[in-house]
Amino acid sequence: MSSSPSKPSDLVTAGDVVLMQGLARRLVAIRPDLVNPGASFGGLAWIWGKGHGSAGNCWRRALWFADTPSGKELVAWAWAGLPRWVRSSDGSVRKVEDASLTFQVHPDHAELIDKVIAWFEGVAPDVDRRVVMTDTDKDMVVRWTEFGYRPDPAAAGEWTRLNERGLAERDPDDVAKPMLPEGYRFRTAAEVPAAAVAQAHLDAWHPSTYSVEAYQGVRTTAGYREDLHFLVEAPDGTMAASTIVWLDEANRTAEFEPVGTHPRFRRRGLGRALLLHAMGAARDAGAGHMTVACLGAPGNAALRLYEGLGFRELSRDTALVKRKAG
């Protein structure tokens, strides 16, 4: 067993993300319920792509490798977001006061969690430290609590649920035909100017830190395909809804990240039609399985949408926090 240097100067690189995606793929093949929030193939690509240009200098990482029959492989990693100033699309500026951690440990190397925790506390020693993980791995959650981490009250009611459904490739009726209102049409990012693609996300998630530059960062991320980045164009030319499909060809699975509809165009069936259209395209591209994450509290509109499309719970997250000393 060996590990990479864990100096605070170790910034997250595009190459690191590819290694992390590789671990995600290996986990999906054996225990998809153990993939942590933000550590999925598509989640890693989305987070890195949209944020490395603006927040990358506040991202630190550590990597742990092991010798395997296939060669040296990444078996654990930690990605910390440190305090920073954040500017949103509405012009507001806020300071992120705490440190947050995304991480993943292969279950065959569960002993590395102690190194992950020690590294996080070393790289962010004088601030509140927050971490989110799947609650499926009960032993992992217990280990964090043994280091003084407790349920995060700030995350109460904000927990997320990972949802899944199959795509029956031999049954064309498994995914219903999408129906758009008259005058609306499906587009791909290959057909739409970059500014309009970025605006579609900004409109759906206002206020947001997203921008045209962030979108260009997403486009250069491993796994991004503009033919699997879908939008709905309204009769007036507005990009009223959008989603990106991230295809993991090794496991024949795909995930939605993100999904959003402009507030002015909600409650018209656009989100449902968009997801059906995208699932059909994902199936045509080779996927036999889809996932999507959303807030898990009962009554959440997105959850109702996904359940109405046949998605069911695969796992849910748990958020922990350790307050700074003093």
Determine contact, residues 80/60, Cβ cutoff 8 Å.
Answer: yes
Give the pLDDT score at 1: 55
Give CA–CA dist 186/271, Å, rounded: 11
Nearest to 91 by CA among 173, 185, 199, 209: 209
Determine contact, residues 110/84, Cβ cutoff 8 Å.
Answer: no
Nearest to 243 by CA among 220, 195, 275: 275
Q: What are the tokens at 266?
A: 């909600």
Q: What are the tokens at 103?
A: 């991480």
Max Cα-Cα span within the chain: 61
Give the pLDDT score at 156: 86
Give the pLDDT score at 7: 52
Give the pLDDT score at 2: 53
Give CA–CA dist 272/219, Å, rounded: 25
In this prediction, the residues of the chain whose per-residue pLDDT falls under 70 are: 1-9, 169-170, 172-173
> Is the bond leading into 83 cis (omega within 30 degrees of zero)?
no
Give the pLDDT score at 322: 98
Query: Which pTM was predicted?
Result: 0.95
Determine the residue type at 118: A
Give the pLDDT score at 5: 47
